[in-house]
Amino acid sequence: MSEELFASFKPYKNRLESYHKLPGKGREIDDIFTELSTIANEEDAKWKTGKCSGTYYHAGEEHRKFLNKVFALFSHVNGIQIDTCPSVFKMESEIVSMTANMLNGEAVKAVNPDDEVCGTVTIGGSESILMAMKVYRDRALKERNIKEPEIIKPVSAHPAFIKAGHYFGIKVIEAPLGESDFRVDTDAVKELITPNTIALVGSAGNYPHGLVDPIDELSEIALEHKIGLHVDGCLGGFILPWVEKLGYNVPTFDFRLPGVTSISADTHKFGFGLKGTSVILYRNKSLRRYQYFQSVEFQGGTYISPSMAGSRSGGLTAAAWAAMIYLGEEGYMESAKAIMSVADDIKKVVQGIPELKIVGDPTFIISFISDELDVFLINDFMSEKGWRFNAVQKPSGLHFCATRPQTLVPDLADQFARDLKAGVEYAKTNKGKEAKSSALYGLNATIEGQQMVSEILYEALDYFYKVV
């Protein structure tokens, strides 16, 4: 069943050669390059229209070419080999320091002069989050002898926290959102705290709706209970500081709040580096120490590793560093301004359609729901027109995350207005019809359905890893 369901994920079947084993004799360079360029160009065409939500965070073709050149200089370098390539730690220490400064790291000194924001570079937002959760688990075991650790996360927070629970044996408790503002309900969070709670989580902004949780209130709760507070700024960390400076209403979420003990921020999203880097920051070095790993006894020599990954490409580090140095505050401000202009246009279009309702008070992600219409029918229509929204659930909605590619299409808002209005008409005329884009969500309604969905999703992964 899943093979049929997921067949569209294998468009190169019967078109390109499939390799079940190494070719006996290697192919010609030109031949390989031609094949890969063809498919890369075809796939790029899907987002170059500006109609694709999120996903492509690079800061323009020139910027990408520059990063690729930088990557090439260090592509073969292993970040773990500190003796032969000290450059990687030079760049990573600076990436961490610049990110800490952007997120008001110096504010921690006013609360405790011994604190100093520090961190590491990781391979992505998920690894940053995993590392922070491991830190809280290990700290709680050592300092408070907590053997059955729990964290409390908003339902809207990223699945990486559930993954952390899955990997590290931490119980993940989900807190509901406020009914009208869609930010975590802090009264509910208070109720959920137990003697085993090791940390709270808030997002800035969350993936479903792009909203910033009331981190100031979470900060107070965390201080009162002497537990950690992780702010997931994977998505918003590199844009919200600039959106705030532009004068938009962005709730404070960073180290200016005394209870915030760690923040994740992705250089590979709005940091505009290449995919494969993120930053995890801690309020002080004693927290970071719980992340580190060392093995003195290894036969192969003393081994140290700051995070989960072992070998990492110095090329990715160099690209993240170069992106930050090249853009500077001015570049990030300009990007944020252009992105917010697109987001504002999209917001206005949605606000002008009475059947649709915007979720909360958003900035760069516009998420909408509908009391009257099946938004997934709208999604079906919009997909036909080349738009790629992200479908969200509970409640059913669609979100559009503005990034740089959208800022390059001058009449994007007009196209969006025309297509969305037609999409709403389509959903009205086809009321009751089953939407293609919600096939899985429909099943989710019952326990048996949920089990089926989870089996289908596992089968999907099997299928993706199958050579066809």
Ligand X SMILES: *Cc1c(COP(=O)(O)O)cnc(C)c1O
Q: Which residues of the shown chain bind ligand X in the complex (CB under 6 A)? A: 124-126, 158, 160, 203, 206-207, 232, 234-235, 266, 278
CB of 159 to ligand X, least distance (A): 8
Residue with Cβ nearer ligand X (153 or 435): 153
CB of 305 to ligand X, least distance (A): 19
Backbone angles phi, psi at 177, to 5 degrees: -100, 160
**Closer CB to ligand X, 203 or 437, in the complex:** 203
Report whether 332 contacts 242 (CB < 8 A).
Answer: yes
Nearest approach in angstroms of CB 128 to ligand X is 7
Q: In the complex, what is the shortest distance from the CB of residue 86 to ligand X, in angstroms, rounded to a whole number?
A: 27
Distances 122 to 206, 252, 259, 404 between C-alpha atoms, Å: 20, 25, 23, 24
CB of 131 to ligand X, least distance (A): 12
| Shortest Å, Cβ 421 to ligand X | 29
Count of CA atoms in the C-beta half-sphere (13 A) of 463 = 17
Cα gap 218→468, rounded to integer Å: 49
Nearest to 15, CA basis, from 44, 42, 45: 42
Nearer to ligand X, 125 or 258 (CB): 125
Q: Which is nearer to ligand X, 132 or 327 (CB)?
A: 132
The CA-CA-CA angle for residues 378, 383, 388, to 5°, reads: 100
Query: Residue with structure tokens 């019952």?
Result: 446
Cβ closest to ligand X, residue 58 vs residue 427: 58
CB of 125 to ligand X, least distance (A): 2
Minimum separation from the CB atom of position 169 to ligand X (A)? 20
Nearer to ligand X, 126 or 261 (CB): 126
Report which residue's Cβ sits closest to ligand X: 125
Residue closer to ligand X, measured from CB, 278 or 370: 278
The nearer residue to ligand X, 275 or 385, going by C-beta atoms, is: 275
Distance in Å, CB of 267 to ligand X, minimum: 10
Which is nearer to ligand X, 232 or 419 (by Cβ)? 232
